[in-house]
Amino acid sequence: MIRTKNEPFSKLRLRPKTSNQYILPKHLKDPTLSCTDHSKGIRSLPAAPYHFLICILFLVVIYTLLAIVEKKLPESVTISNEHKYPNRFVAERARNHLVNLTSIGPRPVGSKENELHAVKLIVDEVKIITKNAQSSHFIEWDLQRVSGSFSLQFLDGMTNVYRNVQNVIVKIGPVKTSRHSLLINCHFDSVVDSPGASDDGASCAIMLELFRIISRFPNPLKNNIIFLFNGAEENMMQASHGFITQHKWASSIRAFINMEACGAGGKEILFQVGPNHPWLLEAYSDSVPYPLASSMAQEIFQSGIIPGDTDFRIFRDFGRISGLDFAWSANGYVYHTKLDTVDKIPLGTFQRTGDNMLPLILKLVNSEQISDVENYSTGNLVFFDFLGIFIVYWSEVLADIINISVIIISLLIILYNASNNHVTGFNVKDYFKSCFKCSILIVLIWLATLLTIAILSLTVTHLDRCLSWFAQPSWLFFLYIIPTILVPMVLLALFGRKFLWGQKGKHYPQSLLYCISRDGNQMLYIIILLVCVLLRIRSGFAVALFVSCNAISTALQNTILKYTYGHKVLWLHWGCMLIPFMLSAYMIQAALLLVVPIMGRSGSGNHAESVMSLITSAMFTLVFSFYNPLVLLLRKVYTLFCSLAVVLLISFLVLVFTPFGFPYSGDPNNLAPQRFMIAHVERSFYNYNGSLRDSQNGLWIVDLDVNSPHSIKSFAPELAKARQISKEECSKELYCGLPYFIPVITFIWKTHWLDTKPMDIKIPLELNLLYRDKRLNNIQRLSFSATGPDHLTFLLSLYDGINLKDWSLSLDKPLEGPQWNGRPTYFVYYSCANDITPWDFWIDLEVNVPTNHVGPQIEVGLAGHRMHGPHQYTTTLKKIFNSFPQWTTTTGWSSAYKSFTL
Contacts made by residues 123-129, CB under 8 angstroms, sequence distance 24+ = 123/168, 125/97, 125/208, 126/168, 126/170, 126/208, 126/211, 129/208, 129/211, 129/212, 129/215
pLDDT per position as a tens digit, 254-298: 999 999 999 998 899 999 999 999 999 999 999 999 999 999 888
Mean residue pLDDT of the chain comes to 90
Q: What is the mean pLDDT of residues 822-832?
A: 96
Mean pLDDT of 395-408: 95
Q: Beta strand 253-261 with 322-328: parallel, antiparallel or unpaired?
A: parallel
- Cβ-based neighbours of 6, under 8 Å, separated by 6 or more: none
Instruction: Provide the pLDDT confidence category of residue 13 given band limits of 50, 70 and 90.
Output: very low
Mean pLDDT calculated for residue range 817-845: 95
pLDDT at 302: 81
pLDDT of residue 504: 52
147-156, 305-314, 519-528, 609-618: least confident range? 305-314
CB count in 10 Å sphere of residue 529: 24
Rounded Cα distance between 700 and 170, Å, is 42
**How confident is the model over 359-377, as a mean pLDDT?**
95
pTM exceeds 0.95: no
Q: How many CB atoms lie within 10 A of CB 878?
A: 12
Answer whether residue 34 shows pLDDT above 90.
no
- Asked whether the predicted pLDDT for residue 131 surpasses 50, the reply is yes
Query: In sequence order, which residues have a C-beta less than 8 Å from that of residue 717 and are 6 or more positions away?
Result: none
**pLDDT given at position 423:** 44
Please give the pLDDT value at position 646.
Answer: 95
pLDDT at 185 over 90: yes
Residue 839 has pLDDT above 70, yes or no: yes
In sequence order, what E strands does 128-241 have? Answer: 137-152, 158-174, 181-187, 224-230
| Residues 269, 295: Cα–Cα separation, whole Å | 11
* Residue 563 pLDDT class (50, 70, 90 cuts): low
What amino acid positions are annotated as catalytic residues?
A: 233
Query: Of 501 and 416, which is predicted with more confidence?
Result: 416
Residue 611's alpha-carbon distances to 297, 335, 517, 708, in angstroms, are 19, 21, 30, 17
| pLDDT > 50? residue 42 | no
Average pLDDT over residues 352-370: 97
Would you place residue 7 in the very low, low, confident or very high pLDDT band (cuts 50, 70, 90)? very low
Over residues 316-321, mean pLDDT: 96
pLDDT confidence of residue 41 = 42
